[in-house]
Structure 1
Amino acid sequence: MGLAQAKKIVLYGLVVFVLYTIIKTPERAAELVQVGFEGISDAAKSIGDFMTALIS
């Protein structure tokens, strides 16, 4: 089994898991998405603060 095939299998499994989670518990899925976006937002703010500190 090649690396490309393994990646395809993992991606397929991840998609199935995400769809199952959304269908089975939509409230929990929405909560996880919100937490993910908050994490991305916090990371972007931290990078912005770091860049500002470098310029100052």
Structure 2
Amino acid sequence: MAQARRVALWAVGIFVAYTIIHSPARAAELVQIGFQGISDAAKSVGEFMTQLIK
């Protein structure tokens, strides 16, 4: 199990490095999309909590 996890982490790391080197603009776009999603989720949770208090 630990060996499979280590191999999977290496594969993900190599893929990320390849993506950044091969297409830095696309990699930056993917990071921006990810952070935008996290931001939207946090905003939605905040609005939900605000509505619970009212």
After TM superposition, the score normalised by the length of structure 2 is: 0.94
Unpaired segments ≥5 residues, structure 2: none
Unpaired segments ≥5 residues, structure 1: none
Residues 3-53 of structure 1: CA deviation (Å, up to 9, x unaligned): 111111111100000000000000000000000000000000011111111
**What is the correspondence of 1:1-56 to structure 2 with a 5 Å cutoff?**
3-56=1-54
CA RMSD of aligned residues (A): 0.6
The percentage of aligned residue pairs carrying the same residue is 63
